[in-house]
Structure 1
Amino acid sequence: MKKFGKIILAILICQTAGIIGSFFTTPAIPGWYASLQKPFFNPPGFVFGPVWLTLYTMMGISLYLVWEHRQKHPLAPNAIILFLVHLIFNAAWSVVFFGAQQILLALFIIVLLVCMISILTWQFWQIKKPAGYLLMPYLTWVLFATILNFSLWLLNK
């Protein structure tokens, strides 16, 4: 597979996690999510789509960079596996939070997700520095989402 095809495939793999999550997120927003008490720092709804689109694209480029080094660096194969597993947790958060409307269980999932992203960022940085840097905005956003998830649980328990 040529370079451009690999980049597109890596981005599509990441965007797929977002698409799966959106099947559960979109229907819950006007009813259940709108009815929740939200913290003062809750971003307006229009922010989430563009942010996630950008983050999934950056994640895909990061994945591609590590994929290209999978035979040059001993951490790369396991880092790729962890990355793919973490995407399952990424999508699962939306299923649990929006689909099942289980804020506390979603909080546990997102804390695990933060741990995985932290490990991935470190591993990707060791394999190819730009790959690690590309995950830093994602880690920051998910840390913010964790605080938001916790706040929503506190306000709505």
Structure 2
Amino acid sequence: MLAGFVALTLLVALVGGMAAAPSVRPWYAVLPHPPASPPDWLFAPVWTVLYIVMAVAAWRVWLRGDLLIDNRRALVLWGWQLGANAVWAPVFFGLHRPGIALIAMIAMNILVALTIAAFRRIDRMAAWLLVPYLAWGIFATYLNAGFWWLNR
């Protein structure tokens, strides 16, 4: 099951990477960037680690099958946040719509926070594993808002 969770999260990463790749040089690179924008090379390794940690967190909750209803609700929330995550890159990079992508990013952060709360009731370590993801998501939201503001 761990391999399945990892595969699912890395599939989302692959979709995001495929959506971003064609736009990074001709579009994204020439946009004015908000202050504190990290170098482009940093995003892929950070997101890869976060996707794997997300998978481990979900797996830990899945292992705690003794709380079946809470477990299922928590994993459904996890799936929803992953879906919101999957929407972001195609909207931002594929459609070149930072404003709409910002809505997806905010929704993702809300869903991640709800997932952390749900995971905490089942497995505290699983909840803590998602905290860096939420922190990076909040930073990414700042960047997304900055791109939208500077390039509207």
Common topology (TM > 0.5): yes
TM-score (norm 1): 0.93
Gaps of 5+ in 2: none
Structure 2 matches for 1:60-75, cutoff 5 A?
60-72=55-67, 74-75=69-70
The residue number in structure 2 matching 1:47 is: 42
Contact 2:50 2:133 in 1 (8 A): yes
The residue number in structure 2 matching 1:93 is: 88
CA RMSD in angstroms comes to 1.0
The residue number in structure 1 matching 2:7 is: 12
Instruction: Find the aligned partners of 1:70 and 1:101 in 2 and give their Cα distance.
Output: 42
Instruction: Find the aligned partners of 1:49 and 1:87 in 2 and give their Cα distance.
Output: 17
1:38 aligns with 2:33: yes
1:105 aligns with 2:74: no
1:29 to 18, 21, 24: 24
The residue number in structure 2 matching 1:119 is: 114
The residue number in structure 2 matching 1:144 is: 139
Contact 2:80 2:111 in 1 (8 A): no
Number of residues of Structure 1 aligned to a counterpart in Structure 2: 152
Instruction: Find the aligned partners of 1:129 and 1:73 in 2 and give their Cα distance.
Output: 16
- Percent same amino acid among aligned pairs? 31
Deviation at 1:8, TM superposition (A): 1.6
Contact 2:33 2:147 in 1 (8 A): yes
What amino acid maps onto 1:145 in structure 2?
Answer: A
Instruction: Find the aligned partners of 1:105 and 1:20 in 2 and give their Cα distance.
Output: 18
Deviation at 1:73, TM superposition (A): 5.0
Instruction: Find the aligned partners of 1:71 and 1:27 in 2 and give their Cα distance.
Output: 45
TM-score (norm 2): 0.96
